[in-house]
Amino acid sequence: VSASSSNYIKTIMAEDLKAGRVKEIVTRFPPEPNGYLHIGHAKSICLNFELADEFGGRTHLRFDDTNPLKEDTEYVESIKEDVKWLGFDWEKLFFASDFFEEMYNRAVLLIRKGKAYVCDLTAEQIRETRGTLTEPGKESPYRNRSVEENLDLFERMRKGEFQNGEKVLRAKIDMASPNINMRDPVLYRISHAHHHNTGDKWCIYPMYDYAHPLEDAIEGVTHSICTMEFADHRPLYDWVVRECEMECVPQQYEFGRLNLTNTVMSKRKLKQLVDEKLVDGWDDPRMPTISGLRRKGYTPEAIRELCREVGVVKTNNSVVDDKLLEHFIREDLKLKAPRTMAVLQPLKVVITNYPEGQVEMLDAEINPENEAMGTRQIPFSREIYIERDDFMEEPPKGYHRLFPGNEVRLKHAYFIKCEEVIKDADGNVVELRCTYDPETKSGSGFTGRKVKGTIHWVEATSAKPAEFRLYEPLILDYNMEESESFLDKVNPNSLEILHGYVEDNMKNAKPYDKFQMFRHGYFNVDPKHTTTDKLVFNRIVSLKSSFQV
Ligand code: ATP
Ligand code: MG
Ligand code: MG
């Protein structure tokens, strides 16, 4: 399904403009600053920014910071960085908490109109009297308090005269409504807590269902796009906008959440992984956070393409195979990333018939699929490293790499033949002695004989030591958001660290530089662990054709 054919919101926007119901399209991305953004948020970001952009409209970034307990400025900063990195720029930036005074005034208006009341029931009592799908709720004994009493109590709530949970402000709608969200929902709660933006100014805070429509209306948002679970809240959204007599009347539309296989996606669960130190912070390359994907080596282009592909299927929360994300990063890097050779698990090879002390420079293309990237020079000498896996003393049938007596091609160089195996006292192979054939130089047009295997290598005296971090899924066999206990599903082998070598050409590599390492896949220079002495690479994704010759 292409994004455009399934994008029902786009159709509505076009009609609204045509019919003159709105003058321009205004959308918003409204994260709560209680964690780092994840790939699911990217879908919402792309949708909001790209839709508005398509119609020449604008998009706001709004921090939905109405819950003082979980919010933090660290999250605010990371969210701004991630949205920008994805390639979007907001027209205006808002904090919902900047609207607290107006929200309070609108609540007073509701009280005056007899549309809201202060209720002394506990949270539990409110839940118990809400009724069920088949049974109506029970009216609160405080429902018919006079306007004067409600005004007085609400003001005293604001002044801090009551404890947390002692009183709430509720909308007075309909306890028999078939929609449970309309059964006198709570609009304000008491919370004596410090707020990251308003400090100690407030001790009452608006609930999401009350705050969100007001925020949209105050900002002049025309199309308020949210995830499916809010579909049932839509009548309440409309009620709040109408009864609070907002001038701007935004409309809510829903789209399916994006979930990925082999991970968890809620901020609460991601925070748990961070807090319990099961990962190396919110930006651990195994995390589905934007910052984790960035550190792993994903590009904004790849993430945006995924979001477009997934589209706006209205009723479906899609579980996207993480393989699809991998597909898009391969596609994006295929023509961009320089090719290079790296040995992740080195085995030394001495080429006994190559002159001692001689170093020659060989030509190697930088990207065979993108000739414009040109060529590089790589040194070759008597001593090289090859991949430990590319040698077997007793090879199984069909093994075409190096074994005693066998000849292989060294990529960009010569044929070499394994003549002797050197072992340590314990019988471990520590070095190979090989011979090379000068006639077989790569690019010389040699056709005298063929070999079945081509292996990569790195010249030993110029090789740069490097660390390679290979990743597997963070979570195994986890049924997405259904089960609560996911910590026991954390994959203990999700990170493998190897120490090997890269070409001398890599000495100038900087954090976030990306390479395709011959036969190993795409790698990103890790920004956190790379030092002047040691490059650290995160494997972004393996090559589709796996490690076979
Ligand atoms: P989480 O449960 O992961 O914490 P959230 O919905 O509580 O997510 P918000 O900060 O409120 O997080 O989300 C900001 C916006 O991103 C909202 O409009 C929300 O609907 C959207 N969003 C969040 N998660 C996803 C997802 N998995 N797929 C698509 N959109 C999402
Ligand atoms: Mg939320
Ligand atoms: Mg949440």
Indicate which CATH number applies to the domain containing 403.
Answer: 2.40.240.10
Q: Is the pLDDT of residue 517 over 60?
A: yes
pTM summary value: 0.93
Same domain, 8 and 64: yes
Q: Is the pLDDT of residue 441 over 90?
A: yes
Same domain, 326 and 276: yes
Domain tally, the chain: 3
Q: Is the pLDDT of residue 309 over 80?
A: yes
Question: Does the C-beta of 269 come closer than 6 Å to ligand 1?
Answer: no
Binding-site residue positions for ATP:
32-34, 38-44, 227, 257-258, 265-267
Average pLDDT over residues 159-173: 98
**pLDDT value at residue 313:** 59
Amino acid at 213: P
Residue minimizing CA distance to atom 29 of ligand 1? 257
The answer for residues whose C-beta is within 8 angstroms of residue 206's C-beta and 6 or more apart is 66, 100, 103, 107, 187, 188, 214
Question: Does the C-beta of 346 come closer than 6 Å to ligand 1?
Answer: no
Q: What percent of the chain has pLDDT over 70?
A: 96
Domain span at residue 479? 267-334+465-502+509-541
CATH number, residue 125 = 3.40.50.620
The answer to whether position 261 is within a domain reads no
Interface confidence: ipTM more than 0.85? yes
Q: Is the pLDDT of residue 65 over 70?
A: yes
The two tokens of residue 115 are 């549309």
Question: Does the C-beta of 318 come closer than 6 Å to ligand 1?
Answer: no
Same domain, 49 and 166: yes
Ligand nearest to the CA of 269: 1
**pLDDT value at residue 115:** 98
Which of the pair, 310 or 80, is modelled with greater confidence?
80
The answer to whether position 340 is within a domain reads no
The answer to whether position 359 is within a domain reads yes
Q: Are 262 and 475 in contact (CB under 8 A)?
A: yes
Distance CA 436, CA 445 (A): 16
Same domain, 223 and 247: yes
Same domain, 106 and 9: yes
Same domain, 166 and 289: no
The answer to whether position 260 is within a domain reads no
The answer to whether position 246 is within a domain reads yes
**How far apart are the CA of 469 and the centre of ligand 1, in A?**
30
The answer to whether position 481 is within a domain reads yes
pLDDT band at 6 (very low <50, low <70, confident <90, very high): low
**What region does 160 belong to: left with phi over 0, alpha with psi -120 to 50, or beta?**
left
Amino acid at 289: T
The answer to whether position 341 is within a domain reads no
Question: Does the C-beta of 33 come closer than 6 Å to ligand 1?
Answer: no
**How far apart are the CA of 49 and the centre of ligand 1, in A?**
15
**Active-site residue set:** 32, 257, 267
Distance CA 276, CA 413 (A): 49
Q: Which atom of ligand 1 is nearest to the CA of 44?
A: 30
Same domain, 311 and 416: no
Question: pLDDT (tens digit, 9 = 90+) per residue, 214-239?
Answer: 999 999 999 999 999 999 999 999 99
The answer to whether position 547 is within a domain reads no
Question: Does the C-beta of 226 come closer than 6 Å to ligand 1?
Answer: yes
Q: Which atom of ligand 1 is nearest to the CA of 317?
A: 28
Q: Is the pLDDT of residue 546 over 70?
A: no
**pLDDT value at residue 545:** 46
**How far apart are the CA of 430 and the centre of ligand 1, in A?**
53
Binding-site residue positions:
32-34, 38-44, 64, 208, 227, 257-258, 265-267
Same domain, 483 and 399: no
pLDDT band at 489 (very low <50, low <70, confident <90, very high): confident
By the CB criterion, residues less than 5 angstroms from ion ligand 2 are 32
